[in-house]
Amino acid sequence: MRYAASDRLKDLVCPPYDVISPHEQRRLHERDPANAVHLELSQAHEDRDERNREVAGVWRRWIAEGTVTHDPTESFYVYRQDFEAQDGRRCRVSGVIGALKLGPYGEASGVLPHERTMPGPIEERLSLMKALPVNISPIYSIYRGGGGLTPYLDDLENRPTAARFADEHGTLHRLWVISASAECDMISKALRPGPLVIADGHHRYETALAYAQAVGGDGDHQSVMSFCVDADDEDLVVFPYHRALKTSVDFEEIERRMSERWPVESIDNGTSGSLALNHSSADHPFLLRSKEGEILVEVGDSTVVEQIGARARAWRDLDVVALHEAVLPLVLPEGVDDLRFSKDPDEILRLVENEGWTAGVLLRALHPAQVVEVARSGERMPQKASYFWPKALTGLVFRTLSRLPN
């Protein structure tokens, strides 16, 4: 199902629920009464069950009023984003939205995770799915396809779009509906070998799997809507998730403990800490921020091996793994009281300077292929290890499911 008013999609779509801030949530709610946020992250009621019943009622009203309508045939949807990267490069991410068969992670399903999940969000989303059996937003999956679909995706430039608009960030979003059986077979065949690695949406995938297992039997509920992108040939941008941490140990003591183990360099006011981080030749450099300034800490791979052994190299090579599996346990055996994550370094600095967080930790960005190789190794990254951008928008396509038995 899709919005009938494709000419005003800009006002109707929203980001995935897990990246919507409270301020953004309010803004989207006020933007349009039919904005997808009214399903994705409703403000209807404090009580969860009452809120979910209201969301289901909103969906039924949208159908009755013709706000959303059924496409006449089963289709794939090619979704393309054209955008400017931080370094000024013109980039594009183009992929296919379709129904991905559900199954436990592993070789049998061909679906692999790359991050750890938490039970809380899954419980929240499962409650919503039981009230509203709809895939509201797609999970975001990547694969190593060697550019096999690229000529076909490029050729779509010569066809009319089903939707086209630019968002407030300047990203151009386009959607093509693909319903010809020969093209659908070709797309399915290209994606089938897998594996598909979940880039965004681990909680949504696990929620959909739990729902499918609860309902049982055959039906649309045994699949989940997924946006599938070839990591080998698309301009995927992966930002690091930086950390702010609270601990009973003050920053001076943290710095002292680190300097006893690894090279530590103070960053002068006139020097860019981010530049020093990205140009470091160390295996695992980290930029630590405090109210007083910044320090660059350079950790060698030998430290990680000593702590965790010779586990999968693709996983062990990640800075975020070195941080959580080796550096923090060694430096803070007392433990970390709280963690906050953000892709915005300025937000981390604000937390340290204005809200009493002990320190900020800035990390280098990942390459998309690293995410695939870590997943293939059977390991999982720590929570919030990667931020794929731009996000696949919510509201371009909805997918209805079977209901739970009464």
- Determine the pLDDT at residue 406: 44
Residue scoring higher pLDDT (396 or 270): 396
Given strand 196-200, what is the order of strands in its sheet? 111-112, 196-200, 139-143, 223-230, 90-101, 76-84, 172-178, 163-166
Per-residue HEC secondary structure of 281-312 comes to CCCEEEEEECCCCEEEEEECHHHHHHHHCCCC
| Strands 359-362 and 284-289, sheet pairing | antiparallel
| Percent helix / strand / coil, the chain, rounded to 5 | 35, 25, 35
Q: How confident is the model at residue 163 (pLDDT cuts 50, 70, 90)?
A: very high
How confident is the model at residue 271, as a pLDDT?
A: 60
What six digits make up the tokens of 350? Answer: 């604000």
- Among 101-105, 133-137, 149-153, 306-310, whose mean pLDDT is lowest? 306-310
pLDDT one-digit tens code per residue, 203-250? 999 999 999 999 999 999 999 999 999 999 999 998 899 999 999 999
pTM (two decimals): 0.87
Read off the pLDDT of each residue in 144-160 and give the average, rounded to a whole number. Answer: 95
Q: What is the mean pLDDT of the segment spanning 288-305?
A: 94
Residue 52 and residue 56: Cα distance in Å, rounded? 6
pLDDT tens per residue across span 310-332: 788 999 999 999 999 999 999 99
Which residues on adjacent β-strands are paired with residue 84? 90
pLDDT on residue 320: 95
Which contacts of 64-68 are long-range, i.e. CB under 8 A and separated by 24 or more positions?
Answer: 66/4, 67/3, 67/4, 67/5, 67/34, 68/1, 68/2, 68/3, 68/4, 68/398
Residue 233, classified by CB atoms within 10 Å of its CB into exposed (0-12), middle (13-18) or buried (19+), is middle
Give 73-131 pLDDT, tens digit per residue: 999 999 999 999 888 889 999 999 999 999 999 988 999 998 887 777 889 999 999 99
Q: Compute the mean pLDDT over every residue in the chain, rounded to the nearest whole number.
A: 93
What pLDDT shows up at residue 106?
Answer: 92
Residue 282 zone, left/alpha/beta (φ > 0; ψ -120 to 50; rest): beta
Q: Residue 403 has what pLDDT?
A: 60
Least-confidence region, from 37-46, 267-276, 347-356: 267-276
Q: What pLDDT is recorded for position 260?
A: 97
Cα–Cα distance measured from residue 382 to residue 373, given in angstroms and rounded to the nearest whole number: 15
Structure tokens at 230: 């070839």
DSSP-based three-state secondary structure for 343: coil
Tens digit of pLDDT for each residue in 373-402? 899 898 888 888 888 888 999 999 999 997
User: Average pLDDT for residues 63-76, to the nearest whole number?
Assistant: 96
Query: Is the preceding peptide bond at 16 cis, omega within 30 degrees of 0?
Result: no
Q: What is the pLDDT at residue 156?
A: 97
Q: How many CA atoms lie within 13 A of 99 on its CB side?
A: 15
Residues paired with 264 in a beta bridge: 297
Bridge partner list, 243? 341, 361
pLDDT tops 90 at residue 367:
no
Element (H, E) at 76: strand 76-84
* Cα–Cα distance for residue pair 394/137, rounded to 1 Å: 5
Which residues share a beta bridge with 173? Answer: 81, 165
- Is residue 351 within 8 A of residue 162, CB to CB? The reply is no
Domain boundaries, the chain: 2-236+389-400, 242-362
Fold type of domain 242-362: 3.30.1760
